[in-house]
Structure 1
Amino acid sequence: MPTSELSTPRRPRLVFSDVDETLITCKSLLDFLGYYLAGRYGPEGASRAARIREDLHAQVTAGLPRADANRAYYRAWRGEPVAAVEEWARRWFAERSAAEGFYVREVAAQLRGHRAEGASIVLVSGSFRPLLDPLAEAVGAGHVLCARLERCGRFYTGALLGAPVIGDEKRRLVRELLARHPHIDPADCYGYGDDPSDLPMLSEVGHAVMVGASSHG
């Protein structure tokens, strides 16, 4: 998309962006799982993270739907203290975001351009808030639509509240947010994604952009 398209002020709009491999180049959930478990529990934690990743990969390869794989992933957080996860997530983000190649350059630049024109950035992701809040702060996102994890006191239960934020659930959340902003025309809004599962979300806006590997760096 030419940068010149963003140079003329427009009516208020929302800009929806997927996160993993759209705004950032990594798969945040799997990367953070290894970072957290190894950091807190040492070699035993690192081995556990590797087993979880291998099991998930095998199940998806065997045909497990992505929504079910997402639920299986979050079961790994059962019993983990919320405060510890939040603290380690900020450490993870500080380290990873400081490295070259963390952001998908073209998408990050487009979001900066949209913000400069007064648009509100919305992150839409199957990831969860501890990982997404620092990113939202960094890119100036005004909204975060993401997975909600169940808690029991100060600990995660490993269960999700509601559906995994993939495919049609992304569409539902986008529609819900647009409905809360009736002064904004969806035709004026933008959406960024990298995967066919983002198409339901992208179909809700007037300007949909599918991000390719050439945008990474």
Structure 2
Amino acid sequence: MTAAGIWFAATAEIPDGPTAAAGADNPRGLVRYDPVYHRAVSGLEAPLGFDDCGHSTTRASRDTAGSDRHTVTPVIDRFVIHHTGTTADQLDFLSRCNMRSSAPTFYLRHDGSVIELIRPGAKPSSTGADWNWRSLAVETLNATGAPDYAVTEAQLEELAQMIAWLATYDGERLDGVPVSFTIDREHVITHQETWSGTECPGPYLQSRLDDIVARAREIFQKN
């Protein structure tokens, strides 16, 4: 489950896009955009991806970090894995200004389908003020509850696919932001590895991190 996040300084304007009718893949009828991640089924303008989630006008910038909002040089150098802590679909929850201030870059369902909630160039509200500015974050819907909080094989595969995709941008820019990313356990981390106050993403996903990284390397080398 993602931690309360920060979405302070704003730089980029909202792209034009249609407001869609509500449905399973867009329960709040958010503005859609063509996702940056090519395997995502859609991109949605989640309100917490912006400076003011009540009056969405500009995207949260990656140029500030920490509770003091000190200036940093934007970079994407971490891929952070979270879990929902529940088996019930969370897209509606993540599509509004929710009580956890939770807005990951990606939402990953049981069948391996991905919804992009925040463009990778913008700062997610997910892992905490010291990590949001430098990371992409994925919220993984659990297939089982406590104690294991397992996920499906399709989700494990898609996590590896996302990691391999991010690695293709190493040394380049992704959605306007420089990337410095290698497929290893320094750069692929979980929420609990950034903050001792959480067990997210649960025992099952934590135990599969080495497998996910190994599969991502395999995908990357084949491409």
Which is higher, the Rg of structure 1 or of structure 2? 1
TM-score, L = length of structure 2: 0.27
